[in-house]
Structure 1
């Protein structure tokens, strides 16, 4: 293939991968996209591999994170897409080194697994650097309607991404073999890829709990004027969530153990603001249960905390959790003086969010169970980060609640992309999971990743759910440190060995 043809194939592959994610959700196109990347990288040198990979990654990220354009404008959206695309460029360069080093024998059967390891390692690298990483767009999050997603129970997002990349590589390797008139390999490799995707059917997922349930009143209050300026409507948002709680209670849905409100549902901290305290207390008393809500804690002198807290009908705070991974350039501004040169939207963030400490959990006494239940409290983008979710369950969480605020992203796929992540986390941890948003999409998810209830965007809605509690630990949680770092370590090992081998061959007399 010529340079322009390879570049075009890589770009089309990136667009195909984007279509695999919500809202389109055409998950088989993930394999088509990776097959296109495989073909574009065939016989590429390292710099060519970087360029084709970068084209692929940028073409993928531009439509995938279109919600960033909705929130902060064109320049930050393009910058995020191009910067994220560079990681795919690193993958392309790494794969070129490995494939040209001669270290792999056995054709596609040896090459495809290494391609998949490098892919999973690249995703892990992108999840930790820079500024704490940006895991959005991991291929695992596109596979929730495919049986391969069940592998998350064993190895989390890392194993699902590896398997999906392996299937895509086998498809690409099969097409390459057919182009070379190797008929047997050309037909066998894609069939092997189908078997990889189907392997998740062997995982014993179950929606059942261990006998006890937590009865939740889940409130999506909505806001009339969404966007970045929606934070100015804090009173309206809190009142909407109070009113939604009163409406649900009036329908007599059943006993309520906990009322669940989203992130930013009470922007004026009820611990210091009397009006907020009165509205939350009214809702808690009407439900006869504590309220789990999202607020801002401005007590630090050098910033604020994005906080989840449990508020009782008596107006007391039982427990709190502060978000560990504030979103860079959204909740805090790294390199503010430089970032301002690209977009003055950074000045909307006047007080940086500080990182909290401790696991993402709160403890809530449940009278009907005569014991305290530990609840996983994942805030917004934290659902994309492996250590926060698995660490929550390892610390005792029996159910997961993902509190988020999607008001800034308009009618984009951001909320449904996030819901897909919540579905994967349900499988990975074996926990019932609730995603609750100020404006939607909110949903109740069982431990197999199935959506039981779901709301629409920009509507006021309430849900009542009896969610099973679990204390058992999945392999993905038990071996979480292995799955978080093994792909990256193995990938670096392959790349280091390949580069060393090529250098040795270059300078060999």
Structure 2
């Protein structure tokens, strides 16, 4: 039977019949619940848990939900999936200024995830859809790393894989390649029901590639070795009010360093070549307070090694604070410094402070720190130390700049202060980032935290020594000094840019196919349309 022609000014009714509407409603709630569960699986793959294999399953759930959906549905399902993933992952942000930080941040990040999943829905029916969808996940992570307020890349999938088989891929293409591999495995799993012969290679190849790269992850000390110590002095008690006890924090780090010096003299520990104190180990500016300078000077002389001291300095030119690491020599005092370049919004800085004050006065707890500009770290004998302070370790480009600056670093230091976030999972998530950076750049990493977790990370990402939370400690280890650049270090952001561009090309192709398929068939409106497959039949 031929469909009757439709007058140009008469709209086509696209309202589904009542029975179909009821079926859609009954199907919507299970899809929403499944999306939330899929996102929660990805959250559960992150440290302190080691269930890295849950992440591909979470992506498989997302792939099943997105297949053949319109972009609007892809956005909605992705929003729920993103909330299931990021809301629990970012719970630690609420320790600082409460729900006003945690829930809006989680929602903002989930909306950005939903932008990516809307595009994934568009390419989900193209040939090779899992590949294009995984590429779009990389594009989405890139978007979140630059927007808003300078980006917030905390939920990168690679940061949940320090124990997984995918981790060695970081040495080839950095964190973006690890995220692509995890997403591709998951989307490939989602395709198994549509033809296992095509989907199975997409599931197996990323895992096989990670295992194949493993023997090539460099750990040899091509520039010798050095003994490095990380000091964890601890804070008087957990919580925001520890900043009011700045002198006690400094005293704790001095005392633990003096104890290390005694252990060295007694032969219980090796003599360190350099000592790393945490971020904020001296919130008292030693250039303005002679008593603080005298304490640090004593600690350096007793331990007989330069100390990288995390200090808050007030610049004389503008009277504003800088989050700075000062290299304090036992003979010459302060000889070099590194100022944190990537500051934490809503913590060290407060964008649009007057606007956000309309909602809560808690924004005034945020600081007025000014960023540094020089990525070069410290040189102590054979040690060329890149410094990435706390939040900076989450940013691919910031870490790479610090590693390659000044002729190249052969070790990475991550001084950090996690005391504000108490016993939340934040410190474990950040340690995972340091482990990914170790493999990505082929460098040993020294994590020194005020209250924990401090750790020594080998170039293959393994943790050789670590402390607990809220306890003083000193970690001393002989570490390999490596000057050889990994492929990821040499390529920099190129793998991410290429993968992002390919994903967007796939979206453009998918939109073109959709537009071509929506054009009226030849003879439309003349009584010659087919009822099976043409626009009229589809309606």
Deviations 1:62-120 (A, max 9, x none): 110111122221231111111100111111110122235xxx22xxxx11111110011
- Give 1:417's aligned residue: 429
- Give 2:533's aligned residue: none
Q: Is the counterpart of residue 293 in structure 1 residue 312 in structure 2?
A: no
Q: Distance in 2 between matches of 1:305 and 1:499?
A: 48
Q: Which runs of 5+ in 1 are unaligned?
A: none
Alignment check: 8 A CA contact 2:230 2:447 kept = no
Deviations 1:203-237 (A, max 9, x none): 21132211511211210000122222211111111
- Give 2:132's aligned residue: 114
- Give 1:17's aligned residue: 42
Deviations 1:153-184 (A, max 9, x none): 0010010000011011111111x43xxxx5x4
What SS does structure 1 have at the residue aligned with 2:388?
Answer: strand
User: Aligned to 2:440, which of 417, 428, 433?
Assistant: 428
Deviations 1:2-47 (A, max 9, x none): 1212111110001000000012231111011111111111221111
What SS does structure 1 have at the residue aligned with 2:152?
Answer: coil
- Give 1:41's aligned residue: 66
- Give 1:343's aligned residue: 360
Q: Distance in 1 between matches of 2:409 and 2:34?
A: 45
Q: Distance in 1 between matches of 2:239 and 2:167?
A: 33
TM-score, reference length from structure 2: 0.87
Alignment check: 8 A CA contact 2:130 2:191 kept = yes
> Structure 1 499/353 Cα, relative in aligned 2: closer, same or farther at 3 Å?
farther
What is the CA RMSD across the aligned residues, in angstroms? 1.7
Q: Distance in 2 between matches of 1:230 and 1:315?
A: 31
Q: CA deviation at 1:488?
A: 2.5
Deviations 1:127-170 (A, max 9, x none): 11111100001111111111211000001001000001101111
Q: Is the counterpart of residue 276 in structure 1 residue 301 in structure 2?
A: no
Q: Is the counterpart of residue 165 in structure 1 residue 183 in structure 2?
A: yes
Q: Distance in 2 between matches of 1:444 and 1:290?
A: 18
- Give 2:537's aligned residue: none
What SS does structure 2 have at the residue aligned with 1:43?
Answer: coil
Deviations 1:360-394 (A, max 9, x none): x323332xx5xxx3210000011010011111222
Q: Is the counterpart of residue 141 in structure 1 residue 159 in structure 2?
A: yes
What SS does structure 1 have at the residue aligned with 2:378?
Answer: strand
78-87 vs 484-493, which moves further:
484-493
Q: Distance in 2 between matches of 1:122 and 1:302?
A: 39
What SS does structure 2 have at the residue aligned with 1:219?
Answer: strand
User: Aligned to 1:94, which of 119, 125, 132?
Assistant: 119
> Structure 1 314/211 Cα, relative in aligned 2: closer, same or farther at 3 Å?
closer
What SS does structure 2 have at the residue aligned with 1:466?
Answer: strand
* Structure whose alpha-carbon radius of gyration is higher: 2
User: Aligned to 1:153, which of 171, 195, 200?
Assistant: 171
Alignment check: 8 A CA contact 2:138 2:496 kept = no
- Give 2:76's aligned residue: 51
- Give 2:347's aligned residue: 330
Q: Distance in 2 between matches of 1:235 and 1:417?
A: 28
Q: CA deviation at 1:190?
A: 4.9
TM-score, reference length from structure 1: 0.92
Alignment check: 8 A CA contact 1:386 1:484 kept = no
Q: CA deviation at 1:358?
A: 2.0
Q: Which runs of 5+ in 2 are unaligned?
A: 1-23, 522-539
Q: Distance in 1 between matches of 2:319 and 2:288?
A: 18
Q: Distance in 2 between matches of 1:258 and 1:411?
A: 29
What SS does structure 2 have at the residue aligned with 1:150?
Answer: helix
User: Aligned to 2:237, which of 221, 225, 228?
Assistant: 225
- Give 2:480's aligned residue: 468
Alignment check: 8 A CA contact 2:166 2:206 kept = yes
For residues 431-470 of structure 1, what are the structure 2 equivalents within 5 Å?
431-470=443-482
- Give 1:202's aligned residue: 212
Q: Distance in 2 between matches of 1:363 and 1:76?
A: 35
Q: Distance in 1 between matches of 2:319 and 2:295?
A: 29
